[in-house]
A and B are shown apart, each in its own frame.
Chain A
């Protein structure tokens, strides 16, 4: 599935992932492929991304963390809060 993390200022990450852990308002939760459509609010905390490195080399995948974690199968970063929408096997995180 595709994960896209954007902030008002920049694109943080865009790429194929297998598993994402997000800091929900009621505690952190994970999202796997083929999740049902969902809208959820996030709080301050850590996001953990398991990406499929081999599939994220194309030009359409770009963002701050795409460069920083080019070859890491898994990486984490913190966000201050946000909204997440899961739809059609695509996760959109509007982070802050």
Chain B
């Protein structure tokens, strides 16, 4: 029979674990709310920018742009977006696996390197052949998560764009978790550079035909616009990933709390059984003793 004290100790330990997991769940829920707000905040901005770009490129060929050149794809950079912290289920592993698969299969035979955002990706890729060499790419990207604002993301995006312009890289792909709902994150792969032609928005032809004045010229506006859309694209992927991280952690912690409660229930049952057995034993001994005295 299990030792009473042993079971009691386990119950206490599980209870304190439960406290931690449920507190973490609550913290993640609050952070998730904020992250989701940020995602909804950026949407009108991104949509408007996309609309203007689509509007301009319908009358202008953007394939001449610095960021659109169709070079041979030799040096490929995969931007792997993970979190700094763990305890969020398969969140980080899914992205790392997807990145690994891209590097090993789709881009096999090319010069692939992985630029990692977040400590988890950094730890995973540091020891592989995909580790970044050279200083033309930004580093210490895990610090982005400490304070994720557009002003912090913009310089990183600029540095990557500069590296592309200078010909160090021929293609950049972002791999990240996109937030679908609290329980589900979908690993998404998005081409960052070279830029893809903007999709024609259905039903937006009316605005496209409007006679706009362009100040200065269309070409110069496009020149300004494309880096902006790229920065926004990167920022929104990071925001999406952050919302996904908190969602994943919330779900993981919720499950952990549930499991702990379940385990606690079983242990309590076992504890009571053991206690009952000990009492029965004691009564038996007393009765036995009394009987022995009577005789």
**Could you tell me which A residues sit within 8 Å of B by CB distance?**
6-11, 24-26, 29, 36-41, 81-83, 85, 87, 92, 94, 96
* A34 CB, min distance to chain B CBs, angstroms: 14
Q: Can you spell out 7 A-B residue pairs with CB atoms less than 8 angstroms apart?
A: A7-B45, A7-B150, A8-B235, A39-B212, A39-B215, A39-B221, A94-B228
CA distance A9 to B239 in the complex (A): 11
B173 CB, nearest partner CB in chain A, Å: 22
Contacts of A37 in B (CB 8 A): 210-213
Q: A8-B232, A83-B224 given as contacts; is B48 within 8 A of A94 (CB)? A: yes
Contact of B214 among A10, A38, A81, A92 (CB under 8 A): A38
Report the separation of the CA atoms of residues A83 and B207 in the bound assembly, to the nearest whole angstrom: 17
A9 with B150: CB separation less than 8 A: yes
Complex CA distance for A96 and B48, rounded to whole angstroms? 14
CA distance A87 to B149 in the complex (A): 29
Shortest distance between the CB of A54 and any CB in chain B (Å): 27
- Interface of B, secondary structure class, is helix
CA distance A10 to B210 in the complex (A): 28
A13 CB to nearest B CB, Å: 14
Q: Which residues of B contact A29 (CB under 8 A)?
A: 215
Residues of A within 8 A of B48 (CB): 6, 85, 92, 94
For the complex, is B61 an interface residue (Cβ under 8 Å from A)? no
B203 on the A face (CB < 8 A) = no
Given A36-B213, A41-B221, A85-B48, output 18 extra A-B contacts at Cβ < 8 Å. Answer: A6-B48, A8-B41, A8-B42, A8-B46, A10-B41, A25-B216, A25-B220, A26-B216, A37-B210, A38-B214, A39-B55, A39-B221, A41-B220, A85-B52, A94-B49, A96-B150, A96-B154, A96-B228
